[in-house]
Structure 1
Amino acid sequence: MSAPPAGPLPALLSGAAIGLLGGLIGLGGAEFRLPVLLGLFALAAHAAVRLNLLMSLATLAASALGRFGFAAFPALSAHWPEILALMLAAMAAAWFGAGLLARLDAQRLTRIIAVLLAGIGALLLLEAAAGEALHLGAEPGGWWRVPAGLAAGAGIGLVSSLLGVAGGELIIPTLIFGFGLDIRTAGTASLIVSLPAVLVGVIRHARAGGYRERAMVLGVGLPMAAGSVAGALAGAALLPFVPVAALKLILGAILLASAAKLWRKGAAKAAAARAAR
């Protein structure tokens, strides 16, 4: 694979902008990073997903250091069953999904990415419009919490491995609206679930040689990850001054537009492949 057309400076700046947006809405920004990797940096779908996952790991590690090193650890004792169920299922699904990624052709993967990004965009719009109305008011305890955590974790781990994201955009709403955690506790629990799941995916990709291209990792991944971390910290600092619901509406619309563009791109490639036969 040749070096991408854009260099380290665009990677750093775009990573900072994406991290800023992610920090403002409480996410790592990987769902917005993926369309940039596919568009601005013209990476192939498989390479973009693998690199996105590696940058998600770096961003998660920085977030974990900040949260666990400087903030008080929230009380999670009442929620450990569902958190552990989510984590274990997400790890298993991430390992499976990393293997599945290698077996998907580029056109099919592009369409899957488009569908998943559209789903996340729709979720952002729904959260912004409904807010607390989505809260199920679930209380700690209950036999259903572990099976529900396993099912949710499997889905989240699969999405994580196919998009290269940490999964916080799915984990946090699941914990808040499904299991009744408050936003601060859900953010900490999301890190506990995401870190091992993303690490499993990165390890499997590394074992398969997914990070051998140094120009991609050092020229795009490293500066973009650095920018993402800096931007996320700035976004967290600006959070009290920005209307998050309005921002979610805008970013949800951007994701839907990106998904539509990717779907058309996948359809065009599929049509060209059929015509060449």
Structure 2
Amino acid sequence: MTAEQNLVPLRATHSAPVVFGAGAAIGVLGGMIGLGGAEFRLPLLISLFGFAALSAVILNKAMSLVVVLTALPARLAAIPAADIAARWPVAVNLLAGSLLGAWAGASWTVRMRSATLYKVLAALMVFMAAALVLTHTTTLGTLDLPLWAQVPAGVAAGFGIGVVAAIMGVAGGELLIPTIVLLFGENIKTAGSLSLLVSLPTMLVAVARYSRDGSFAVLGASRRFAVVLAAGSVAGAVLGGLLLGVFPDAVLIPLLAVILLVSAVKLARHD
């Protein structure tokens, strides 16, 4: 598939209400479990809106960046700045790996054959489903590693998360939050804020790498679509945040995991 083909949706352009509604639905899904929902948006971009794999990843990354920038002020306001500043070594430790991982992941993605990228995305969907179930159905403890082991473990974990986030076009919070809890013993609320601080520069590095190859031209080719989808995603994320805790995890998490697994099957069969 050529770069030009990658920029254009494979199906007819959808109406603004449909695009906004789809973005809002994904935002609500993610917001109800405290995430941005990018892992659910990616298969929608491919299956419903007909974007090729690389274009879908780029658009998803742009949407994730918008959602994180929107959520960051509110999230930081919920926790005293001094508390976050005191934990800067955690963010720096993870960033030492995630920035490299984001660059590497974006580099691998632009070089992959389209058919291979679909299969990789399918495998990562399964991984995300497993991570979703594990982190929301079990009580996360801490590994209590000594400092000499904690630092390299943080760099390695950050690298892996950066790679996954770049390839899928997600912020990576679904992986960063449990990692911060497990490796550094932070509570969930603090981990959520720290994850945003790590996600933002990590996403910017991926964006910079994708931009080198002109991959972000898809945003120019689909400007109206991207703006409407972003607006829907932000509105949905806000609504989903208000609904946080309304639906029991025992019902919501298995449902979301099934959505990811079904999406994985569809992506694996895509050619």
Q: TM-score, normalised by structure 2?
A: 0.90
The 8 Å contact of residues 30 and 37 in structure 2, kept in 1 or not, is answered as yes
User: Within 2, Cα distance between the matches of 1:74 and 1:188?
Assistant: 12
Query: Which among 26, 32, 40 is matched to residue 40 of structure 2?
Result: 32
How far residue 152 of structure 1 moved from its aligned partner, in angstroms, is 0.3
CA offsets 1:67-119 (integer angstroms, 9 cap, x no match): 23465336246643332121121111111221211110001000000000100
**Superposition RMSD on alpha carbons, in Å?**
2.0
User: Within 2, Cα distance between the matches of 1:240 and 1:101?
Assistant: 36
User: Within 1, Cα distance between the matches of 2:36 and 2:117?
Assistant: 22
Query: Which among 74, 82, 95 is matched to residue 66 of structure 1?
Result: 74
Query: Which among 106, 109, 115 is matched to residue 107 of structure 1?
Result: 115
2:243 counterpart SS class = helix
- Aligned partner of 2:255 in structure 1 is 250
Tell me, yes or no, if structure 1 residue 41 matches structure 2 residue 49: yes
User: Within 2, Cα distance between the matches of 1:120 and 1:244?
Assistant: 16
CA offsets 1:185-237 (integer angstroms, 9 cap, x no match): 00001001100000111122223212224565423221111111111111111
User: Within 2, Cα distance between the matches of 1:219 and 1:179?
Assistant: 42
CA offsets 1:226-254 (integer angstroms, 9 cap, x no match): 11111111111111322134311110111
Assess, with a 3 A threshold, how the Cα gap between structure 1 residues 11 and 151 changes in structure 2: closer, same or farther. same
- Aligned partner of 2:160 in structure 1 is 155
CA offsets 1:44-75 (integer angstroms, 9 cap, x no match): 00110011111111111001122234653362
User: Within 1, Cα distance between the matches of 2:84 and 2:144?
Assistant: 15
Assess, with a 3 A threshold, how the Cα gap between structure 1 residues 147 and 2 changes in structure 2: closer, same or farther. closer
User: Within 2, Cα distance between the matches of 1:155 and 1:189?
Assistant: 17
Assess, with a 3 A threshold, how the Cα gap between structure 1 residues 177 and 74 changes in structure 2: closer, same or farther. farther
- Aligned partner of 1:238 in structure 2 is 243
Count residues with an aligned counterpart: 263
My pick for the range that moved more, 156-165 or 237-246, is 237-246
The 8 Å contact of residues 51 and 217 in structure 1, kept in 2 or not, is answered as no
Identical residues among aligned pairs (%): 42
Query: Which among 170, 182, 185 is matched to residue 187 of structure 2?
Result: 182
AA at the equivalent of 1:18: I
User: Within 2, Cα distance between the matches of 1:200 and 1:224?
Assistant: 23
1:165 counterpart SS class = coil
User: Within 2, Cα distance between the matches of 1:249 and 1:37?
Assistant: 22
The 8 Å contact of residues 110 and 262 in structure 1, kept in 2 or not, is answered as yes
- Aligned partner of 1:23 in structure 2 is 31
How far residue 146 of structure 1 moved from its aligned partner, in angstroms, is 1.2
User: Within 1, Cα distance between the matches of 2:67 and 2:55?
Assistant: 18
The 8 Å contact of residues 87 and 192 in structure 1, kept in 2 or not, is answered as no
The 8 Å contact of residues 125 and 253 in structure 1, kept in 2 or not, is answered as no
User: Within 1, Cα distance between the matches of 2:136 and 2:79?
Assistant: 27
The equivalences for 1:119-268 within 5 A come to 119-129=127-137, 131-132=138-139, 134-136=140-142, 138=144, 142-213=147-218, 216-265=221-270
Give 5+ residue unaligned stretches, structure 2. Answer: 1-6
User: Within 2, Cα distance between the matches of 1:167 and 1:245?
Assistant: 23
Assess, with a 3 A threshold, how the Cα gap between structure 1 residues 42 and 16 changes in structure 2: closer, same or farther. same
2:245 counterpart SS class = helix
Q: TM-score, normalised by structure 1?
A: 0.88
How far residue 137 of structure 1 moved from its aligned partner, in angstroms, is 5.7
User: Within 1, Cα distance between the matches of 2:119 and 2:165?
Assistant: 16
Give 5+ residue unaligned stretches, structure 1. Answer: 270-277
My pick for the range that moved more, 158-167 or 238-247, is 238-247
My pick for the range that moved more, 111-120 or 73-82, is 73-82
1:20 counterpart SS class = helix
AA at the equivalent of 2:164: V
